[in-house]
Amino acid sequence: MSVPFIAALQQSAIAPVGPQAGRIAFLFWSFLILLTCVFLLTIGFTLWALSRHHRGIEQEPLERTHRPSAATDARMTRAIGAATVVTVLILFGLLIASVVTGEQLAGLRYASNAMAVEITGNQWWWEIRYLSDNTRRILRTANELHIPVGRPVMIRGTSHDVIHSFWAPNLHGKRDLIPSRITTEWIEADQPGQYRGQCAEFCGLQHAHMALWVIAEPQEKFDAWFEAQLQPAAPPEDAHLQAGEQAFLSSSCVLCHTIRGTDAAGQVAPDLTHLASRLTIAAGTLPNNKGNLGGWIADPQTIKPGNHMATVALKSEDVQPLLDYLESLH
Amino acid sequence: MRVLAALACVIALTGCQRERRDLRPAPPQAAIYGDAAREGTLQPGGVLPARAVAYPASQNALAISEGQRLFAWYNCTGCHSHGGGGIGPPLIKEHWIYGGEPENIFETLVKGRPNGMPTWGGRIPEYQMWQIVAYIRSMNHLEPQSASPARADSLEPSPTIQNKRAGVTR
Amino acid sequence: MRYIVTAFLFLLAGGVEALLMRLQLSFPNNPMLGPDKYNQIFTVHGSNMMFLFAVPVMEGMGVWLVPLMLGTRNVAFPRLNAFGYWMYLIGGLLLYVGLFTNTGPDAGWFAYTPLSGPQFSPGKRVDIWAQMITFTEISAMCVATELAVTILKMRAPGMSLNRIPMYCWAMLVQSAMVLFAMPAVMVASNVFLLTDRTIGTHFSNPAEGGDPLLYQHIFWFFGHPEVYIIFIPALGMVSAIVAAHSRRSIFGYPAMVLSLVATAFIGFGLWVHHMFATGLPQIGEAYFTAASMMIGITSGVQIFCWIATLWTGRVRLNTAMHFVLGFIFIFVMGGLTGIMLAAIPIDLQVHDTYFVVAHFHYVLIGGALFPLFGGFHHWFPKFTGRMINERLGKVSFWVLFLGFNLTFFPMHLLRLKGMPRRVYTYSPEMHWTAANGMATAGALIILIGGILFIVNVISSRRSGPIAGANPWDAGSLEWAADSPPAPYNFAFLPGAVSRYPLWSDPADRVVVTGMRNDRREILVTETVSGEPRFRHVLPGSRIWPLLTALLATAGLVGSIFYFQWYYIGAVLTAIGLIGWFWPKEPVEIEP
């Protein structure tokens, strides 16, 4: 799969694809236009003040007393009073607009067909769990969030370690992921597409490389994806892939990672059961292909220095089978 | 002013070892088979010369912090709790069953021990083993207090504070 | 003076850090700085600028200017002033020794827990940050205390409270804010963070009943007033410059004073706007939106009054006025982006992106640094006795102005493309390269502007035309002293018959006679009316402030490593204070 890093407006708050981001973008543009006018007026008056030829301002009192006449002062007082009143009204209007938009954003929580997803921030990857009343249908995956188009999704956020922040600007503003607290946010995508998000709260050495992809697809495609993800990993068919599976199970990988369908059940690192179905690896750092995966496993600390993936020395005869096995986990 | 600067430098220089951040282990250290030391010093036929084992994670704050993380990640807490012991013996103690020197603890991790201590030698890379060794020693005040974490963000009593009287005897 | 020079050196250090950051970000996947070094550099840049430059330089200007403007000879507590300076210098050195020994703090200038807690920030880096804050906050509180007392009790006879210059009002308001805000950050950094890290308390440990948000609330309760602490003295400076160079009194003195006080009050009620993304209840957050927008009114009133002053005055467009105009342009733009940030939905998109970086650099550099530079040019004749070169000054202004806008305006656009803060690198597919490149180019231009300014200062000091006492024909009392002023400011203390005493009829001007000139004698006046009450003798230079500072340092630096040093340090500091306050022979003061 190739990664369509499309130009210009990827990960952008002014390219909204859902109602939440759309309302925020509308508010933003309104503020921007109004406040730009205020700015231009202020600068205009300042520059005009410098260029006035002082008609009507008596010079003689100014030279003597360093203040103009009482009439001028009274005119200025009225002008400033009027400007202040206008400012107050503008700010009040902006306040109301802001509060109304906030209410609209919160309105999505009353939707009846919302899907619930729990996102847990870790240093420096995202753990994603699709919640369900049926425990067999709770899906645990990592770094890539698929959502159906047109359906509200409730994001329950928390963190395992430090404060992170879930931010997919095309869809909504950010929500901090705070250890020991659960923060909630509702998002919805109106168009299918792939939208990049990034952690937006400084979380340590690799804050820069903690991205995630939100993939919105039509409901049928989403359902198909979900069912496929719920399946455990298929047993490897040929000897080459079996050697790869053995390499995985006999090295350090199993201490941290899970591949459902095998004995590997580590909980502290991303779930690899369907690794090959993802667009990127290492939380959006590299496109997902065999070369990048090989480089990542061989030396994660050069690609993402400080991250918690152990540097494991594999035997050379294990490398190719392991990579092929991992790339077979669709 | 100059005296102050000199004093500051002295304080800081002693921190050089503590504040080193080696994020990328050298290739030999990523190996999963470490330098296994002898179990004890008791040998027939005379005293052997002591073998100094290189202990890269010693006194290094980042290493001890990583050890703290790995102690939980690799589920040492499952048997040893947070040093208090449970299924396994406590790790905050005065009398070590297999020796409390760094190389002894390292070998315990590499080879495993009777009565249930798994062999981690095929799983945990060597540099991480040394980090865990450093953390275990820091629980016993055998690492400088300035390099040891005061507590973890969890329900544990802080080993470095609550256990002031622990020490190692051979 | 020492304050200003030291603060300027820290400004240069912070500028170097900024340049390193910009170079690192100038193109994607730059291998120049790794994440560890970059994190240290941006943390130190922020801490340096906020704690070691902005507040001290404003306080330093205050310590120098306020006695001159009030017509007195010195600040109220000169030994406290010295102690505050030493603590500031030592705190700054502590931070930089840390940076150069790989122990610089790396958790951001506000060091959120749990990232800065004992589990996720190993070593002593964040502890050094926390204690640096102790030093600088003690220093700020010392200066705030003495400035407040000076302004309230040591004025020229006849200078009632409604006649004190706007700059002194600004410093009075700022000192009050310091006294309320700085203890909050000391609690946050020392009590919460440092004890968590050194003796294992659980303030931020949710498993044991703590809460990471508690730290944020307390920190920002300080953090928001902090920016007004930096900004309000600049407002005072702008008033002084505008009055002098429009050759008229500032329009609307009562309105200006009230808006200063209102800014201070409202400034204490805004702190949650730094925390809008944390999921606090909406109704509470809406209150902070309202307050954050309300503060736009007070700043707006000030801007309107200045425009009115310019409108009805006879403006002299020298370098200082250029900086004031630059201030209006940049600060108003920054303030308006601030109004955008106050709206919660917009903030949810732009929080922790380069939009915020652009906003606060606009308001801090535009709102504090440009007036400061304007003040340097305006008071240069008073500082040094020579006129500064106007042409070079104007050139340096334009270079700084253009460089600043080139650096920080593209950052607004970066946020529209989704670039978060505090990232040490980015990939080429994000299309952030062009804007980052522009910002780096702008940073280099700012460097050139700064160099031009320094060159101007040095060459004008050496060979500028001699200035008299009052080259601008300004109205406030500092222009009655010599240029540069004698260490005792005034041989004969002037009296104040109006708000702009030097503009009143020469026949009405008064001086005080009868004060002794052979010892440090000052006049203490009534708080409100300015009537003289009694004379007071100030102490001379002593070693005790420095010694006490060193003893306190031993305690505070030691406590980074061993908590027991707090106790030892307390005893040592007590010894220093006993020596300081050892009673001396009472001085004979004739009635």
Please report, for the domain that includes residue A274, its CATH number: 2.60.40.420
Judged against a pLDDT cut of 50, whether residue B163 lies above it is answered with: no
Q: B153 vs C119: CB contact, 8 Å cut-off? A: yes
For CA atoms C247, C252, C258, C259, the dihedral sign is negative
Residues 95-124 of B with CB under 8 A from C: none
CA distance C514 to C551: 41
C499-536 pLDDT, tens digit per residue, is: 777 777 666 667 776 666 666 677 777 777 777 777 77
**A120 and A143 co-located in one domain:** yes
Judged against a pLDDT cut of 90, whether residue C370 lies above it is answered with: yes
Domain count, chain A: 3
Q: A311 vs B122: CB contact, 8 Å cut-off? A: no
Q: A255 vs B69: CB contact, 8 Å cut-off? A: no
The answer to whether B16 contacts chain A (CB < 8 Å) is: no
The answer to whether B10 contacts chain C (CB < 8 Å) is: no
Closest CB to A313 among B21, B27, B74: B27
Closest CB to B122 among A179, A250, A311: A250
**A61 and A120 co-located in one domain:** no
**A123 and A221 co-located in one domain:** yes
A246-289 pLDDT, tens digit per residue, is: 999 988 888 899 999 898 888 899 999 999 999 998 888 889 99
Give C523's strand partners: C535
Closest CB to A84 among C301, C310, C315: C301
Return the structure tokens found at A176: 């901090």
Range list of H helices, C385-432: 390-416
**A91 and A127 co-located in one domain:** no
For residue C225, what pLDDT band results from cuts at 50, 70 and 90? Answer: very high
The answer to whether B69 contacts chain A (CB < 8 Å) is: yes
Q: B23 vs A254: CB contact, 8 Å cut-off? A: no
Pick left, alpha or beta for residue C416 (phi over 0 → left; psi -120 to 50 → alpha; otherwise beta).
alpha
Q: CB-based contacts of A47: which residues, under 8 Å, 6+ apart?
A: none
Prediction pTM value: 0.88
C392 to chain B, minimum CA–CA distance in Å? 36
Burial of A298 by CB count in 10 Å (0-12 exposed, 13-18 middle, 19+ buried)?
Answer: middle
**A138 and A212 co-located in one domain:** yes
- The residue from A62, A86, A107 where one domain ends is A107
| Region B59-71 average pLDDT | 88
Q: Interface partners of A (3+ CB pairs, < 8 Å)?
A: B, C
**A101 and A141 co-located in one domain:** no
The answer to whether C500 contacts chain A (CB < 8 Å) is: yes
Name the more confident of C396 and B29: C396
Whether A315 maps to a domain, the answer reads yes
**A267 and A181 co-located in one domain:** no
C460-490 burial code (b ≥16 CB/10 A, e <16) = beeebeebeebbbebbbbbbbbebebeebbb
pLDDT at A63: 65
Judged against a pLDDT cut of 50, whether residue B167 lies above it is answered with: no
| Region C545-565 average pLDDT | 82
In SS3 terms, chain A reads as: CCCCCCCCCCCCCCCCCCHHHHHHHHHHHHHHHHHHHHHHHHHHHHHHHHHCCCCCCCHHHHHHHCCCCHHHHHHHHHHHHHHHHHHHHHHHHHHHHHHHHHHHHHHHHHCCCCEEEEEEEECCEEEEEECCCCHHHCEEEECEEEEECCCCEEEEEEECCCCEEECCCCCCCCEEECECCCEEEEECCCCCEEEEEECCCCCCCCHHHCEEEEEEECHHHHHHHHHHHHCCCCCCCCHHHHHHHHHHHCCHHHHCCECECECCECCCCCECCCHHHCCEECCCCEECCHHHHHHHHHCHHHHCCCCCCCCCCCCHHHHHHHHHHHHCCC
Closest CB to A301 among B24, B123, B153: B24
For residue B162, what pLDDT band results from cuts at 50, 70 and 90? Answer: very low
Whether A243 maps to a domain, the answer reads yes
C276-308 pLDDT, tens digit per residue, is: 888 888 888 888 998 888 898 999 999 999 988
C147-151, C246-250, C281-285 — most confident range: C147-151
When mean pLDDT is compared across B152-161, C70-79, C269-278, C357-366, the lowest value belongs to B152-161
Whether A233 maps to a domain, the answer reads no
Estimate to the nearest angstrom the gap between the alpha carbon of C176 and the chain centroid: 14
Strand A115-122, strand A153-159: pairing? parallel
Closest CB to B8 among C97, C102, C208: C97
The answer to whether A181 contacts chain C (CB < 8 Å) is: yes
CATH number belonging to domain B54-152: 1.10.760.10
Strand A211-217, strand A144-148: pairing? parallel
Judged against a pLDDT cut of 60, whether residue B165 lies above it is answered with: no
Residues 260-279 of C with CB under 8 A from A: 277-279
Say how many CB pairs under 8 Å bridge B and C: 90
Write out chain B residues lying below 8 Å of C553, CB-based: 4
CA nearest to C136, candidates C16, C234, C48, C13: C48
C382-391 burial code (b ≥16 CB/10 A, e <16) = bbbbbbbbbe
**A70 and A149 co-located in one domain:** no
Whether A279 maps to a domain, the answer reads yes
Closest CB to A306 among B23, B74, B127: B23
| Region C61-79 average pLDDT | 84
Interface test with B, best of A249, A254, A263, A268 (most B CBs within 10 A): A268
pLDDT at C466: 82
Q: Which residues in chain A come in under a pLDDT of 70?
A: 1-9, 52-68
Domain ranges of chain B: 54-152
pLDDT at A306: 87
Closest CB to A305 among B24, B74, B127: B24
Looking at every residue in chain C, the average pLDDT score rounds to 85
DSSP C513-575: ----SSS-EEEEE-TTT--EEEEEE-----SHHHHHHHHHHHHHHHHHH-TTHHHHHHHHHHH
Chain A residues interacting with chain B (CB cutoff of 8 angstroms): 161, 179, 205, 250-252, 254-256, 268, 299, 301-302, 305-306, 308, 310-313
Residue A297, domain extent: 239-327
Write out chain A residues lying below 8 Å of B123, CB-based: 251-252, 254-255
pLDDT at A119: 94
**A208 and A257 co-located in one domain:** no
Return the structure tokens found at C445: 């231009």
Whether A4 maps to a domain, the answer reads no
C266 to chain B, minimum CA–CA distance in Å? 36
Return the structure tokens found at B130: 């040394």
CA distances from A62 to A46, A65, B109 (A): 20, 5, 89
Whether A162 maps to a domain, the answer reads yes
DSSP C79-130: HHHHHHHHHHHHHHHHHHHHHHTT----STTTT-TTTTSTTTS-SSHHHHHH
Judged against a pLDDT cut of 50, whether residue B169 lies above it is answered with: no
pLDDT at C588: 63
- The residue from A168, A202, A226 where one domain ends is A226
CA distance C482 to C486: 7
